[in-house]
Structure 1
Amino acid sequence: MSGAGGPLFHMVAGGPRPVAPFSHAVEADGWVILTGQMPTDARAPDAPLPEGIVAQTRAVMENLRIVLCGLGLDLGHVVQCRCYLTAFERDYAAFNDTYQSYFPADRRPARTTVGVTALAVGALVEIDCIARRPE
């Protein structure tokens, strides 16, 4: 955890291979900010991306879980998500159906979803999030 010493920059062992120069997460004062995750396979980072928005959303959520778990947290600690879709109109409904299955209906994080022109590695979806450690 961090305190007067400043933020902690985390790289999680067994976490997804970064597709750019970043930390998996940065932590300050109990807040944990996770870098946007891609639908890559943490165990086989050079494997092709899964096909379709449902499979890619599942892969992204699994990568968020891996990073959170590596920090002693889980999806229940997530308070906010930002989601990026390259084919917003086509994929929004299927994305929502898949995404919502990861959170209880009465404990869904705040969320923003944005349509974008492109994402790294040709992904259809990317999600970043903010989690809070219990006090």
Structure 2
Amino acid sequence: MTFHMIQGGPTPVAPFSHATECDGLVFVTGQMPDQPGSPGVLPEGIEAQTANVMANLSIVLEGLGLSLNDVVMTRVYLTRFKEDYATFNDVYKTYFRENRLPARTCVGVTGLAYDALVEIDLVVRRPSNIQL
């Protein structure tokens, strides 16, 4: 098993690795909607927060030689589920190729770090021809 911390990656909000890897599967820790170097500073609204979360996930993936095209499963956590679900989906789907959406679980939660509106974690399969 390999534990990854990505140089220049998002600042962890707790004691964890950006990702762990085992047998070709990469488990990416849930990312927050802040920007690297500005922990806890969040933009307003679900659209901007979703964009920041996806950017942070992409930074971690790129640091591992992967991309959103390699994602097989996402888990989404929304603090204002009823209010933000439809708008979140509109933004989220733009990050994946049409007809290539990963499996997904999306749940409403009572709170997230930094009082964020959204957090997303990933399960990714490393293509067999890419080794790190």
Given the two structures, how large is their TM-score scaled by the length of structure 1? 0.93
Which of residues 86, 100, 104 is equivalent to 2:97? 104
Which of residues 82, 99, 122 is equivalent to 2:115? 122
The total of aligned residue pairs comes to: 128
Letter in 1 for 2:119: E
Letter in 2 for 1:112: T
Q: CA deviation at 1:51?
A: 0.3
**Identity between Structure 1 and Structure 2 (%):** 62
For 2:120 and 2:13, the matched residues in 1 are separated by: 14
Deviations 1:58-79 (A, max 9, x none): 0000000000000000000000
Which of residues 22, 34, 48 is equivalent to 1:28? 22
Residue number in structure 2 paired with 1:94: 87
Letter in 1 for 2:72: V
Is 1:71 aligned to 2:94, yes or no?
no
Letter in 2 for 1:101: T
For 2:108 and 2:124, the matched residues in 1 are separated by: 23
Which of residues 43, 48, 53 is equivalent to 1:50? 43
Q: CA deviation at 1:45?
A: 2.6
Letter in 2 for 1:21: P
Residue number in structure 1 paired with 2:34: 40
Runs of 4+ with deviation above 4 angstroms: none
Given the two structures, how large is their TM-score scaled by the length of structure 2? 0.95
Letter in 1 for 2:69: G
Q: CA deviation at 1:106?
A: 1.1
Q: Is the partner of 1:64 in helix, strand or coil? A: helix
Q: CA deviation at 1:44?
A: 2.6
Which of residues 57, 61, 66 is equivalent to 2:54? 61
Unpaired stretches in structure 2, ≥5 consecutive residues:
none
Q: What's the C-alpha RMSD, in Å, of the aligned pairs?
A: 0.8
